[in-house]
Amino acid sequence: MALNGDVCVVTGACGFLGRRLVRLLLEEERLSEIRLIDRQIKLEDVQSFNDCRGDTRVRAYEGDIRDSAFLRRACRGASTVFHMACLIDVRGKVEFSELYGVNVKGTQLLLEACIEENVPSFIYTSSIEVMGPNPSGDPVYNGTEETQYKCAVKFPYGKTKREGEERTLRANGELLLDGTRLATCALRPMYIYGEGCRFLLGHMADGVRNKNVLYRLSLQEAKVNPVYVGNVALAHLQAARSLKDSNKRNIIGGRFYYISDDTPPVSYSDFNHVMMSPLGFHIQDKLPLPLCLLYLLCFVLEWGCAILRPFIRLVPPLTRHLVTMLNTHFTFSYKRAQVELGYTPRYSWQEARKGTIEWLASQLPEIREKIET
């Protein structure tokens, strides 16, 4: 079902995934209005959509996701909220209070704004990290939403994303002020790659510093299934269309969905090599240390940083959680999203790889110049 004539709100609209979703909405739907919410929005951010906006009004709402009055203004009269804004932290750089404030409190305030402003549909961008891997590194092979997994999420980012997701799904069916009910769902994408991925840029910069040799921090057998950003954006659009469909709304409301595509399963480190080998990069054959010693080194680094924390806040370059995540086989199927949301990946692996490599190639000269100077 089309969203024609609707008003959509996208939080985190200037981010990697947010930009792709906004462009897709403008290209695929005849919206009345789309509202971009972010902490900072430049004029060029809004103008970047001029080539595809058509008659849709694009409005910028710059503010803090923890400001309830701001959120109410942004949601007033809206039909669908895509909640993508969050703080991503895989190394423990961000204070937990800040992560919790944005990823949990911000989500709760946004849900409350939807209830107060009679917004009927809410789609939460979750993360594979709400599932794990757990500290034991137990693997998952082609998991589904029914997969039972002993998960004790300890890392702050995963904990806050999990609580944000739980609050979203619990809000499904909440009574709105106009007497109708809120419908919510959550999407759990795998590691998202594509044009604009800052993690790929970071790995490429490290490779440049290491004389065009990429670091290996993942065992080859620890496979994951990355997902292309264009396909993740499409899954969000399909979720919004499904929530608008009265026949599907009661089926998907309150549920979460894994979002992957047909990108071949591969380890994180080897995925970097697949993307960067055409640009002249090689990769280390082995981990810098045997895995057990790598865990021990991380423990010592974490312990040392904890001892010094009352005097100075240091962040270890590598943690046990990150090593576990990078070295656990963790793959999931998108079949339930295909059946219930009508999601089928639009971009093939060949198309996604080609586009990403071309984008990386365009960024490489600037990265080399910065590092060499």
| Domain residue ranges of the chain, discontinuous segments joined by + | 7-196+226-264+331-347
Paired with 38 in beta bridges are 62
**pLDDT number for residue 172:** 97
The 10s digit of each residue's pLDDT in 160-199 is: 999 999 999 999 999 998 999 999 999 999 999 999 999 9
- Mean pLDDT across the stretch 202-208? 96
Per-residue pLDDT at 260: 97
Q: CA-CA distance, 272 to 266, in Å (whole number)?
A: 10
Tell me the pLDDT band of 52, cut-offs 50, 70 and 90: confident
One-letter amino acid for residue 152 of the chain: A
Q: Report the phi/psi class of residue 137: left, alpha or beta, with left for phi > 0 and alpha for psi in -120 to 50.
A: left
Averaged pLDDT, 42-68: 88
Residue 132 CA to residue 152 CA, distance in Å, equals: 8
Mean pLDDT of 303-309: 86
CA dihedral sign of residues 26, 32, 36, 37: negative
CA 358 vs CA 142, 192, 195, 275, 362: distances in Å: 30, 17, 9, 10, 6
pLDDT the model gives residue 57: 92
**What is the C-alpha separation between 278 and 357, in angstroms, rounded?**
8
Greater model confidence, 296 or 373 = 296
Residue 1 has pLDDT above 80, yes or no: no
Label residue 338 by pLDDT band (50, 70, 90): very high
| Average pLDDT over every residue of 1-29 | 93
CA atoms within 13 A on the CB side of 177: 11
Before 133, cis peptide (omega within 30)?
Answer: yes
Residue 52 or residue 216, greater confidence: 216
Q: Which CATH architecture has domain 7-196+226-264+331-347?
A: 3-Layer(aba) Sandwich (3.40)
Burial group, residue 367, by CB count within 10 angstroms (0-12, 13-18, 19+): middle
Cβ neighbors of 370 (< 8 A, separation 6 or more) are none
158: phi then psi, degrees, rounded to nearest 5: -60, -40
For residue 105, indicate whether it is catalytic.
no
Q: Which residues contact 284 (CB under 8 A, 6 or more apart)?
A: 213, 214, 215, 216
Tell me the backbone φ, ψ of residue 362, rounded to 5 degrees: -70, -25
156-170 vs 106-116: helix crossing angle, rounded to 10? 20
pLDDT at position 181, please?
A: 95
Which residue bears the tokens 């204070």? 95
The string of pLDDT tens digits covering residues 120-152 is 999 999 999 999 898 888 999 999 999 988 876
The pLDDT, as a whole number, for residue 152 is 63
Amino acid 91: pLDDT: 74
Adjacent-strand bridge partners of 187: 125, 257
Of 42, 93, 150, 161, which one is the catalytic site residue? 161
CA distance 318 to 295: 9
Q: In whole angstroms, what is the distance from residue 235 CA to residue 258 CA?
A: 10
Burial class of residue 224, CB neighbours in 10 A (0-12, 13-18, 19+): buried
Q: What is the mean pLDDT of the chain?
A: 93
The two tokens of residue 93 are 């750089």
From CA 181, how far away is CA 119, in angstroms rounded?
9
Supply the pLDDT for residue 154: 67
Question: Which band of pLDDT confidence, cut at 50, 70 and 90, is reported for residue 153?
Answer: low
